[in-house]
Chain A
Amino acid sequence: MAKSAVQEFTKGLWAEVPPFRLVLGLCPILAVTKTLENGVGMGVATTFVLVCSNMLISLLRDVIPKQVRIACYIVVIATFVTVVELLMQAFAYPLFLKLGIFIPLIVVNCIVLGRAEAFAAKNGVVASFADGLGMGVGFTLSLTALSIFREIFGSGTLTLPFISTVLPVFGPSFEPFAFLVEAPGAFLCLGLMLCIMNMLGKK
């Protein structure tokens, strides 16, 4: 049953959106979604790694021996992650300072390895590209949604990505729910998001 590239792309946006449907890759989701800027930055970095590693692994799927495939995938993924890390240091240093350890940790993000193993290893380059892009965009949108919610209510501001402008949303008299930008608040928000997603998805 061969699906079109468009279908492979769109499934990552809703039907199999990684953090909420597959519930994979939660570590960065919980940790970096304190501000919108961090969330989007993390999403873009992960998308880049996903697309590149999916395509390369799909190209090399006949070369990689079955017994050592995981090791090979990790080498490919780790390479792209380090590329992202270096590029981010060179071109977006303030963002790199904020995301810090979570950039190298993309290596162990289950989504990236998961897509490599479950999809790229069995499908062609175009389909793998569409799958990686769809998953990446879905991941980015999830991070965006979660970080908008947490930042608006947790700090009362909104940091616009790429230009680092902080917009006050509620004005100075707003007392922020500081709880939401702490780790337990992240779990709470994620739970609520999952709940809403399941409610909407129920037939």
Chain B
Amino acid sequence: MREMIRLLVVIAVFSAVSGGLLAAIQKGTKDRIEYQQLKFVKGPTIQQILEGSSNDPLVDRFKLPDGKEERSFFVGVFDGKANIVALEAFGKGFGGDIGVIIAVNVENDEIVGIGVTTHSETPGVGSKVKTDTSLSEQFKGLPIKEPFKVKADGGQIDAISGATVSSRGVCGAVVGSAEIYMRLKKDIIEKLKAFKT
């Protein structure tokens, strides 16, 4: 019996020590890992949309609570003013969710640019929504309040031929981020003020 207890104690101590060590390391690397994930997964798209900004949007980011979720926002500084904010939302595509980043100018509520981050659309067909800029170009300069729809649904966006469902997914994602943006606009502007100083 005493032997049993000794074994248990040894294993318990081993596990506790290693658990504690791992927790510490995870805590220490958490921010860096998050930054790396942003840099290599969303980073290229964000940098493309916010090209020419004088700051690093990946560093100048903030989070806001939205209901139960927490959303990340990326700040773009142009001409010394932090008035562009980028956020991500998802739309239903052909093969799964399509992640779209949209950048909005908070002064006039106009879309500065959009870009697809992650998707699982058919390679060579639906995947064009990411590579073919003719779709994302159409969103540039549109007011955020527009009901974004592809032409087949009675909207104003020209879908990529053969990829209507994927294009619809992108529109859905843009509508989703527009909703988030309108809902949190007050808080976003509050946060942006901190960057101006």
Contact = CB atoms under 8 A, between A and B. Distances in A.
Interface of A: 63-65, 67-68, 71-72, 75-76, 78-79, 82-83, 86-87, 89-91, 93-94, 97
23 contacts: A64-B10, A65-B6, A65-B7, A68-B7, A68-B10, A72-B11, A75-B11, A75-B14, A78-B18, A79-B18, A82-B22, A82-B25, A83-B22, A86-B29, A86-B33, A89-B29, A90-B29, A90-B33, A93-B33, A93-B36, A93-B37, A93-B40, A94-B40
A77 B14 CA distance: 11
B26 interface: yes
Interface of B: 6-7, 10-11, 14-15, 18, 21-22, 25-26, 29, 32-33, 36-37, 39-40
A90 B36 contact: yes
Contacts of A72: 10-11, 14
Nearest to A73: B14
B33 A89 contact: yes
Q: Which secondary structure dominates chain B's binding surface?
A: helix
Given A75-B18, A78-B18, A93-B37, A86 B10 contact: no
A111 to B, nearest CB: 20
A64 B17 CA distance: 14
Contact of B10 (A65, A87, A89, A90): A65
A67 B14 contact: no
Nearest to A71: B11
Contacts of A86: 22, 25-26, 29, 33
B21 A79 contact: yes
A94 B43 CA distance: 13
A83 B25 contact: yes
Contacts of A79: 18, 21-22
Nearest to A77: B18
B163 to A, nearest CB: 26
Contacts of B10: 63-65, 68, 72
Contacts of B40: 93-94, 97
Contacts of A63: 10
A67 B10 CA distance: 11
Nearest to B10: A65
Given A72-B10, A90-B33, 4 more contacts: A65-B6, A68-B11, A76-B18, A93-B37
B131 to A, nearest CB: 20
Contacts of B21: 79, 83
Contact of A75 (B15, B33, B36): B15
A78 B19 CA distance: 10
A63 B6 CA distance: 11
Q: 4 closest Cβ contacts across the A-B interface?
A: A93-B36, A79-B18, A90-B29, A90-B32
A93 B37 CA distance: 7
Contacts of A82: 22, 25
A65 B10 CA distance: 8
B7 A67 contact: yes
A64 to B, nearest CB: 7
Contacts of B29: 86-87, 89-90
B19 to A, nearest CB: 8
Contacts of B36: 89-91, 93
